[in-house]
Structure 1
Amino acid sequence: MNYRLLKPLALAVGIACAGLAMAKVELTRGIDTKQFDTKVKICDDLFGYVNANWLKANAIPGDRSTWGSFEQLDEASIAATHDIAQANAGNLAKLDSKSIEYKIGAFYQSGMDEAAVNKAGVTPIGDWLKRIDGLHTPEEIVTLLHDSHSQGMGLLFNFGGEADFKNSSMVIAYAFQGGLGLPERAYYLEDGKDGSYKKIRDAYVAYVAQVLELTGVDKAAAAKQAQAVLAFEKRLATASLAPVELRTPENQYNFISLETAQKQNPHFGWNKFFASQNLSDSKGFSLSQPKFFAEVDSMLEKVPVADWQAYLRFHMIDGAAPYLNDALAQAHYGFHGKTLRGQQENKPRWKRVMETIDDTMSMALGQLYVAKNFPPEAKQRAQELVDNLRFATKARLEKLDWMSAETKKKALEKWAAFTPKIGYPDEWRKWDGLSIKPDSYFGNVAATAKFNHDWDMSKINKPVDRKEWGMPPQMVNASYNPLQNEITFPAAILQPPFFDPKADDALNYGGIGAVIGHEILHGYDDEGSKFDAKGNLSDWWTKEDREKFEARTDKLVKQFDDYVAIDGLHVKGKLTLGENIADLGGLNVSYDAFKLAQARNNQNPKEKIDGLTPDQRLFINFAQVWRRAFRDAELKRRLNIDPHAPAQFRAIATPSNMPAFAEAFECKSGDRMVRDGDKQVKIW
């Protein structure tokens, strides 16, 4: 089951995790010079100099696969939102059952009733499993697939609403490849370095057999079905695009009529599918990866029903496992958490329940969270920083010496059309009609899946709601949406080490300033630059300017390709290019804005705090923001699928291309943090 649509296009800094104040976690405030590892030369390794001692003293917790600034804020958010959910759960008798307070509290109570969840076993998905067992024909398989999507538990592929790439004022439907149990296609088609992919495949087959046995399939049949699942998914993988290919907007959008889709995939039946989603009035949609759906259609005709049953049975169980009995939840963690990500222990039950609520009712939880945790003055100060960063971005665009006046005019039009969203929405989503019960955990998961799916479907073929937020306020993240040409900064990221209203400007411009700049510059990265001021996929560049741009970005690809992350595995420069362009431009425009602020406020650019100049503090806090360690398995997984480079390289890559960094720390040509001459990358 897939409880959340994989959005066709997502450009974001960092990771999508929750966070904010009121925490029992000690957040990083300011700069503690005692933490510096003076055995490391700052001109060779800014990340190591600033963060090595902290990382040595702060081991990755057992229920985590990474640990650093983002995760600290995540723990803070979990503590804050847990307090809210727990308090409401203890006060249900006094709450209106239609209120979001009741729904959050009842959801939490149902998840924490471990005895009831264990007693239910696999009964909550029993009807689905019986239906899968009773499949006999391809037509019955198709009907089950249609129905799974209508319930918000979509099997095999991803489906949902998003703005039209060619008419960004309207929402259309997108069908997007999916259906794989492993991170991406290479895990099925290659053995990997030192056989790493093969080892994971073998572990996956064992896991598939394990969960099938836990739901009553005998050992021999489970082993046979597990092999069938792997073979089935290998066919899907062969027809799927790789993560780096999916970064190309043209590979995410393929608008066709329903009539054409019906002809291309006659066995799947798109007309009936759309009717089952209450979208019978649709004239067309984006069949985003036609090769994948052609393979699905062929498999409906040629793959034995028994193999379809094995695949559907496993994925129904796997999707539901975190919300079922302890045996299935632990098995799910064993593969998805431990094998794939290196977690040493499962999260405690209360954290898993909070994660579920945050996944399914994020905006409701966020509404309660903001009321308790986010001061209005933080939003005002953040708005000032956004305005300063936008001004600095405009100045940098105007001074570009490699871009023609024709393209520059379009770039500035796009700059003028940016919309910032800060803190939290002006209007909150309604949850009327959603019934949450205090004694049915999986029932609540299923109810919210259906509710959210219907809400998503209701927006398709209608104008885009520009007030809607794609991120809840308790998420420690920031984003740029090219389809709306907007940048979003949830409340949760507006705190140390990213942002502190009481801190000196250097810290804020090295922290949240760089993040703001990063998101603005996403509008001009290798993907965002293909969308115009209105958010439409449009070629607004001259041919010569695009060639000049790509010559510069190719140098950035090479820089990251050269970084070795672990066991001889390199960062993928093309996969991470968009984020790396945004990092490079973001810190540069933030530095420009910082210099303007110093001049405007008559600040002494050499005045030291704790023995550090303002410029030094800016770059040091930038490195603190990217303070992060990974478990080996998680780092290897991310190298394959994450469009963000590992944090240690994000901390050093951009400063190494900035003469201002070398000047701040008196670095010389030949130092590893100094890229000069032809090696220096300059884009925006």
Structure 2
Amino acid sequence: MESTEWSNGAIVQYNNGFQRWPRREGTIGSIGIVEQQLYRFILELSYPFRTSPIVYRLSRLHPMCRSSSPDGIFAVEYITNERFPQYNQLTINNKWNNNNKKERKMVSNVKLTNRTLVIVFLIVNESKPTLNEISHKFDESTINHFLSSAVPSSYSQHPGPNMIPGYHHYYSLNHGPLPPTHNMSTTAPPPAFYHHHKPYLSPIQPPLHPLFPSLHPSMMNHNPASSSSSNHITTSGSGVCLRPGCVKAASDILNLIDESISPCDDFYRFACGGWIHRTAIPDETGHVSIFEQSRERLDIQLKDLIETSNDTLPAIVTMKNMYRSCMNLGAIEKLGMEPLKNSLKELGGWPVIEGESWDEETFDWINVTEKIRSNGFKPDMFVNFKVIADVMNNTRNMIFVDEATLGLRRQLITQGPNHTTVKVYHQLMVDTAILLGAKNKTQVEIEMWDVIALEAQIAHATHDPQMGEKKQSWYLYLKAFADVANQTDVLANNQSRLGHDWIRFVNSAIDLDGKEQFTPKELVMVDNIRYMGQIDYLISFVNKHDKRLLSNYMLWRVVLQNLGTGNKVLRDMKDNLNKHLYGITEKMARWKLCLSQLTGSLAMALSSLYIKHHFNGSSRERAIEMVRFIQDEFDEILHKTEWMDSETKRNAYRKSKMMKAIVGYPEELANDTLVQEHYQDLELTSNNFEMNIRRVRIWAHKNEFKKLRRRNNPHNWKYFANAANVNAFYWSQANSIVIPAGILRDIFFDHDRPQYLNFGTIGYVIGHEITHGFDNIGAQFDEIGNARNWWKNETKKHYNEKAQCMIKQYKDYELPHSLRINGDLTLKENIADNGAIKEAYQAYEKYVSKFGEELSLPGLKYTPKQLFWISAAMNWCSKSSPEMFKTRLDTDSHSPSEARVNVAFSNYESFADSFQCKSGTKSNTVHKCTVW
């Protein structure tokens, strides 16, 4: 390869050759090799995260570098387009010069390969090396020898490019997963290079390493445990971990933190400030978080699997057909609005479209409910029926009678016609009706305002989430559904207006396949008995006086189900509503929308595909070990609890010991025969998305209500089969926690990094789910998952007092713009957060007592304990648009991210001790609240 001799320039190694960038005349700084007078950055070029072009900016430098001379500080950008790799470019940015202007120098004709590494040098003085010095120290054979010995070509890169001062970052750009058989112990650890500039970096001392003369051999060695077959990265003395997982973790943390903020003043901003500063809120979602970014990286893996894998299992083919039909925009546009128009005709016609020709005499709201359900739409506009395990006896199933779903959430639809979003919602109704054939716009506007008024009445009857969890007295466990009428005390003389129509309505909505009908003697659980009384009156009144209004509302809710999945015109109308609801200004990539169609009823097939191709068995084993440590620590906390009486404590201990953990995935998910049996009655095509959606709904609805007459197994593997999921769960009726394979990866878990990071990230999540078994809701269920009072009255009183302390503490936390947290709504999650961080930290201390102290991370001045807290906080780094923030504050049972960190951590003395925060600071408040 030809190269021009420039005395100053960066070196890029690719295809076993070199390219040098010239420095434009007039800019400040020189790039080159200066022995013992530079920091070396080797940057990973990451796998692209999106199909559209994206720039990965690597401009954030460690404070140590920011405080040095600005002379020659450079950053690298990798611009890539996944669909058009021929347009890939590599650029170098001069981030600082005399005029404080950003300059870009393009490197053309650089073909990036999976062996591409970029080496950028930072000069901290005026020295300028000669070309001979560069060639002497970094000749081609030396680089190639180093590359071939440092890391196997099959080694997978970690997502996200990073810039770390003080050490090397060596990964190949292999887009595949780390092979399960790969033994990291065979990989020579990358060398470190430390220049004496700040007290927390080691000075360079002779003799020098023969490969890189500026490297001291002591920097190449660390405790054998870190390079042996053991997964425990420990040392008996001081040392730095240089395994790839440690290097990646250090890089992530440097990009996350903001050291200009004191951890004792605002730990959330300290731990997440760098990420917040450099992370943009996606226009298509209105929200971004560490969880969402990890989920997006998982989604890319899933997308690639769906599009490229050759699995022939019929269940997998069915799942892929749903995805392909969704991606087939040509077929969707060709069908246009005909599928929706035909559906409305089958349902008796939408009165606002039919005009005067609509016949009120033939309308029967219960018959229409049955047609809505049988045509593949959700019949949940008045009451939402589900099958659940009997809360008193989880081996049998029962009907759960829930409140209706709403087209516009309660807090908005009840604001009245002058509210901006209500006006947008009304305009959506009007525009849709006219698009589907309505002629008289004035009449349409009048009728749609009536529909909004009816929906507002239904909304008023539902539970207000601002009041927190529903009161226990609202739930009603009835041995016979007929007793519902007797319990509607808001009605005159306790007499149901609908009478026997209730039974006919339930049978039309749930579909027991004609074999057996729902009867008045059916065992049911009613979610909100007050709602049932009001909806009973409302339906009977409107059906008697204005059948047209009732039909208009029911069919509007059918139309609304189709807007997001129809042709472009319908999708655009729904996007406009989302803009007002959530501040979303851009459309989500089509493949993401299509992938989301697979995360419900088709999640088992998708997860089966994922675990075969991507899940590492060693991650599962390590996570199971962590679960044991954390469960043991919760037991220890129980043992030391002084406010519980001995009998209640024994009951709690029994429940803890019987709690099961499904880590990664249930074994049955790897059995193709069982997966295929689950989907045997579902057939989907690759060219009719609208029909596929309806078929899936019909199939899922039948499957759910088939369970009603069957004996329930609360530990049925199908309940835990959604393994391709970046989340975790506690299921009270099985007394089980679920830690899916999808979260045992990425920033949350890596078996190749110290456990103080894993206990801080996934350990916090595990502890959170364990504590849910003992929050204000989970505590009402016993060790086998049945609702039972196992609390002595005095102990329950103490528990409630502690809960009230936490409610007030979160209510008093000051959010931006004078907003406040609903402490009642978020109580169960706050209890789980506070318990989790204590369990995870103390479990890690036990881990250290068993396996010894762990190595620190390179380039960071923080202790392992401090890094535990930093990693725990980074779980919750997030940003939202103002609209989305308000929506989540109103509806989400989780507190905003900064409170999840700042409030929970401030309640725990060990956090303050780790960072030496004085009493009375924001991170070490005098008044603390704890439940566990």
Q: Same fold (TM over 0.5)?
A: yes
Are residues 1:288 and 2:517 paired?
A: no
Counterpart for residue 573 of structure 2: 331
Q: 2:482 aligns with which of 231, 253, 259?
A: 259
Return closer, same or farther for 1:327/1:525 CA change in 2, 3 Å cut-off.
same
Counterpart for residue 549 of structure 2: 307
Counterpart for residue 450 of structure 2: 228
CA–CA distance in 1 between the matches of 2:753 and 2:406? 46
Deviation at 1:532, TM superposition (A): 1.1
Indicate the structure (1 or 2) with the bigger Cα radius of gyration: 2
Q: Secondary structure at the match of 2:599?
A: helix
Counterpart for residue 277 of structure 1: 511
Q: 1:207 aligns with which of 420, 428, 439?
A: 428
Contact 1:247/1:575 (CA < 8 Å) preserved in 2?
no
Return closer, same or farther for 1:253/1:514 CA change in 2, 3 Å cut-off.
farther
Counterpart for residue 661 of structure 2: 420
Q: 1:153 aligns with which of 364, 378, 387?
A: 378
Counterpart for residue 482 of structure 1: 732
CA–CA distance in 2 between the matches of 1:224 and 1:598? 70
Deviation at 1:356, TM superposition (A): 1.4
Contact 1:518/1:583 (CA < 8 Å) preserved in 2?
yes
Give CA deviations for 1:107-142 in whole Å, capped at 9, x if unaligned.
222112212212212222334312242563597111
Give CA deviations for 1:566-601 in whole Å, capped at 9, x if unaligned.
432211111000000000001101111111111111
CA–CA distance in 1 between the matches of 2:472 and 2:742? 29
Counterpart for residue 44 of structure 2: none
Contact 1:482/1:531 (CA < 8 Å) preserved in 2?
yes
CA–CA distance in 2 between the matches of 1:436 and 1:551? 54
Are residues 1:61 and 2:282 paired?
A: yes
1:561-572 matches, cutoff 5 A: 561-572=811-822
Return closer, same or farther for 1:256/1:271 CA change in 2, 3 Å cut-off.
farther
CA–CA distance in 2 between the matches of 1:24 and 1:226? 52
Higher deviation after alignment, 534-543 or 656-665: 534-543
CA–CA distance in 2 between the matches of 1:58 and 1:607? 24
Counterpart for residue 695 of structure 2: 447
Letter aligned with residue 560 of structure 2 = D
Return closer, same or farther for 1:135/1:113 CA change in 2, 3 Å cut-off.
farther
Counterpart for residue 6 of structure 1: none
Letter aligned with residue 895 of structure 2 = A
Contact 2:754/2:855 (CA < 8 Å) preserved in 1?
no
1:179-190 matches, cutoff 5 A: 179-184=405-410, 186-190=411-415
Higher deviation after alignment, 584-593 or 459-468: 459-468
Deviation at 1:281, TM superposition (A): 5.7
Give CA deviations for 1:327-347 in whole Å, capped at 9, x if unaligned.
111111221x21111112111
Deviation at 1:78, TM superposition (A): 1.5
Identity of aligned residues (%): 24
Structure (1/2) with the larger helix percentage: 1
CA–CA distance in 2 between the matches of 1:646 and 1:74? 19
Higher deviation after alignment, 45-54 or 25-34: 25-34
RMSD (Å) for aligned C-alpha atoms = 2.5
Q: Secondary structure at the match of 1:168?
A: coil
Deviation at 1:607, TM superposition (A): 10
Higher deviation after alignment, 314-323 or 557-566: 557-566
Deviation at 1:653, TM superposition (A): 1.5
Normalization by structure 1: what TM-score?
Answer: 0.90
Deviation at 1:300, TM superposition (A): 2.7
Normalization by structure 2: what TM-score?
Answer: 0.67
Give CA deviations for 1:421-465 in whole Å, capped at 9, x if unaligned.
111122244100101011110100000111111111111132223
Are residues 1:396 and 2:641 paired?
A: no
Deviation at 1:605, TM superposition (A): 10
CA–CA distance in 2 between the matches of 1:409 and 1:71? 39
Counterpart for residue 18 of structure 1: none
Return closer, same or farther for 1:350/1:247 CA change in 2, 3 Å cut-off.
same
Return closer, same or farther for 1:607/1:27 CA change in 2, 3 Å cut-off.
closer
Are residues 1:318 and 2:560 paired?
A: yes
Q: Secondary structure at the match of 2:893?
A: coil
Are residues 1:122 and 2:372 paired?
A: no
Are residues 1:623 and 2:838 paired?
A: no
Are residues 1:506 and 2:506 paired?
A: no
Contact 1:532/1:538 (CA < 8 Å) preserved in 2?
yes
Counterpart for residue 109 of structure 1: 324
Contact 2:302/2:610 (CA < 8 Å) preserved in 1?
yes
Q: Secondary structure at the match of 1:73?
A: helix
Q: Secondary structure at the match of 1:547?
A: helix
CA–CA distance in 1 between the matches of 2:900 and 2:875? 10
Return closer, same or farther for 1:598/1:23 CA change in 2, 3 Å cut-off.
closer
Q: 1:237 aligns with which of 455, 459, 463?
A: 459
Are residues 1:30 and 2:256 paired?
A: no
Counterpart for residue 364 of structure 2: 140
CA–CA distance in 2 between the matches of 1:212 and 1:657? 54
Return closer, same or farther for 1:248/1:170 CA change in 2, 3 Å cut-off.
farther
Q: Secondary structure at the match of 1:26?
A: coil
Letter aligned with residue 274 of structure 1 = N
Return closer, same or farther for 1:329/1:268 CA change in 2, 3 Å cut-off.
farther
Return closer, same or farther for 1:166/1:603 CA change in 2, 3 Å cut-off.
same
CA–CA distance in 1 between the matches of 2:540 and 2:359? 14
Q: Secondary structure at the match of 2:389?
A: strand
Question: Alignment length, in residue pairs?
Answer: 650
Counterpart for residue 172 of structure 1: 398
Higher deviation after alignment, 569-578 or 76-85: 76-85
Give CA deviations for 1:617-671 in whole Å, capped at 9, x if unaligned.
1100011111111111111011111101111211211111111111111100121
Q: Secondary structure at the match of 1:160?
A: strand
Counterpart for residue 651 of structure 1: 901
Return closer, same or farther for 1:608/1:658 CA change in 2, 3 Å cut-off.
farther
Q: Which runs of 5+ in 1 are unaligned?
A: 1-20
Are residues 1:385 and 2:622 paired?
A: no
Give CA deviations for 1:338-361 in whole Å, capped at 9, x if unaligned.
111111211122221111122341
CA–CA distance in 2 between the matches of 1:173 and 1:179? 17
Letter aligned with residue 640 of structure 1 = D
Letter aligned with residue 653 of structure 2 = L
Letter aligned with residue 620 of structure 1 = I
Letter aligned with residue 541 of structure 1 = W
Letter aligned with residue 323 of structure 1 = T
Q: Which runs of 5+ in 2 are unaligned?
A: 1-154, 163-247, 350-357, 487-495, 670-674
Counterpart for residue 16 of structure 1: none
Deviation at 1:470, TM superposition (A): 4.6
Letter aligned with residue 112 of structure 1 = M
CA–CA distance in 2 between the matches of 1:381 and 1:249? 39
Contact 1:436/1:444 (CA < 8 Å) preserved in 2?
yes
Deviation at 1:255, TM superposition (A): 2.8
Counterpart for residue 351 of structure 1: 592
1:462-541 matches, cutoff 5 A: 462-465=710-713, 466=715, 467-470=717-720, 472-541=722-791
Contact 2:250/2:857 (CA < 8 Å) preserved in 1?
no
CA–CA distance in 2 between the matches of 1:249 and 1:612? 47
Letter aligned with residue 123 of structure 1 = E
1:41-80 matches, cutoff 5 A: 41-80=262-301
Counterpart for residue 366 of structure 1: 607
Deviation at 1:315, TM superposition (A): 0.9
Deviation at 1:313, TM superposition (A): 2.0
